[in-house]
Structure 1
Amino acid sequence: MPELPNDCAYTKRFDAVLAYIEANLEGDLSVQTLSHVANFSVFHFHRQFTAFVGVPVSRYVQLMRLRRAAHRLVAQGAYTVLDAALDAGFKSPEAFCRAFGRAFGSAPSVFRKNAHWQVWNTVFAVPHFSRKVLMHVRIIELPEIKVAALEHRGPPGLVNESVSQFIAWRIGSGQSPVASSRTFGIPYGNPDTTPPHAFRFAICGEIFEDVKPNEFGVHPLVIPGGRYAVVRHAGSPDHIGETIYPIYRDWLPGSGEELRDQPLVFHYLSVYPETPQDQWQTDVYVPLR
């Protein structure tokens, strides 16, 4: 039997994930479980899923549960709205009715009397991307990099406050001068999907000596060496997702590459305020096996 092209193999792995979700709507549908089903890196699975399917995992699961509830409401006369709400994972019938209304354009009680399934097909149209983003992807072998790191914990919107602290350490210690030391960022989660209180982001500056004791909480860290795909993002880092998602959506499926279970690395090539943020350049390092 001929071997499937890489993009077909990639599609088959996601088909397995979608089939698993539909068969296990009552079960464990965590990112950890689903990434294992697909044999993808847990660090990157959420972005891969969103890029491939068009909606985040949690939204897809909710829509599938609403779809099942709609079928049961129409087919089973004794099936109540409360039953549907609990089966769909909602804490109250009111919350379920609001979500159902947004999805189907009518209340559950109205829908069960006059089901319009074509509405489902319109509402639950998984976005299809009509264009491919042209990317210049380089694959490099990166030596490990020793850095001083300050870990931000909390809402992504407050990262700049942590950046200011790191800059204060950098200036005061003189250990990682901006002019001669590279600057990196390491996102330990996707800000689009990670709860604000759980978001973590390491602000890093290259060092060539041990980090001296300090009051800022800056500590030593090593960015692992190895193979990386590198794509350059132009513009404010606030919109870096516009570059990241096409890597997973357009480049990875046909590349034949597998991702390493390790966070992305951002290498900031510009310095603020010398360079306005809308003119920044950032290299996104995607770890490969």
Structure 2
Amino acid sequence: MKAAVQNHHARMQRVLDHIDRHLDDDLDLDALSGVAAYSKYHFHRQFTATFGLSVHRYVQLARMKRASFRLGYADAESVTDIAMDAGYDAPDAFARAFRQRCGQSPSSFRRYPDWGSWLMAFGPLDNARRKLMQIIFTDDDVTIREVPPTPPVAIMEHRGDRATLGDTIQRFIAWRKAASLSPETSPTFNVFRSERCPAVAADYSMDICVGTDQPIAADDRQMKAGVIPGGRCAVLRYPGNTNNLEPAALYLYREWLPASGEEARDFPIYCQRRLSFLPELSVPEIIVELFLPLK
């Protein structure tokens, strides 16, 4: 069974690699099912079941992501050429799709890219690619640090079914933008006050925080002021952006903590997400660190 799963993953990885190398080609079901060596009558269902995206949606997002790079770093290329290469017949159709996906027009993104929104916009694509990753943590991935208290943070509390978390995140992003708190300069934290999937869905609880020295208005019904306390923490750096840190948290609690002889402190596990830029292209990547407070 394990060998069969590995074979399936290898065939699907070939498809992803082929898409990356042939974004300008006709990536239809006939071509891609042939790369995977699966029947075209079943391939699209197998692809969707594996990655959580249809083949068409995956290719569309991959082309849009490439277009965003070209907008940001190929000033000599016209928006029309970029739109055509992304599979759109007209610049206005591309502009509508780009704004819907990234929250900015192509021309606005070219001048002042909002990398925080960009990372979220292509999260589904990144998450799909990560489906084939088998991340194995070891003790070498964990460091113990004396972590200073955070600067003041604005906190938006999510209480209730995780299915509604997306709405809370969108309100948080809108508030942060209105306050001019860029993810490039203002740290973002998630404090996990419950399990990812509690026995009762309504018991899910998480705080979304952003660093700010701006006072929170007393009548602000969305945000409250606070701070994340400092102290000794076990810190696990997660490889890449993800909306599911449960495997990392389980490793810390189930394997690392019992073997370490340490005891957890009375503060929830939390993470920090921050932007980092690759020096050769200034392309952003997100760095996620998970903090388990220790006594």
TM-score for the superposition, normalised by structure 2: 0.47
Larger CA Rg, structure 1 vs 2: 1
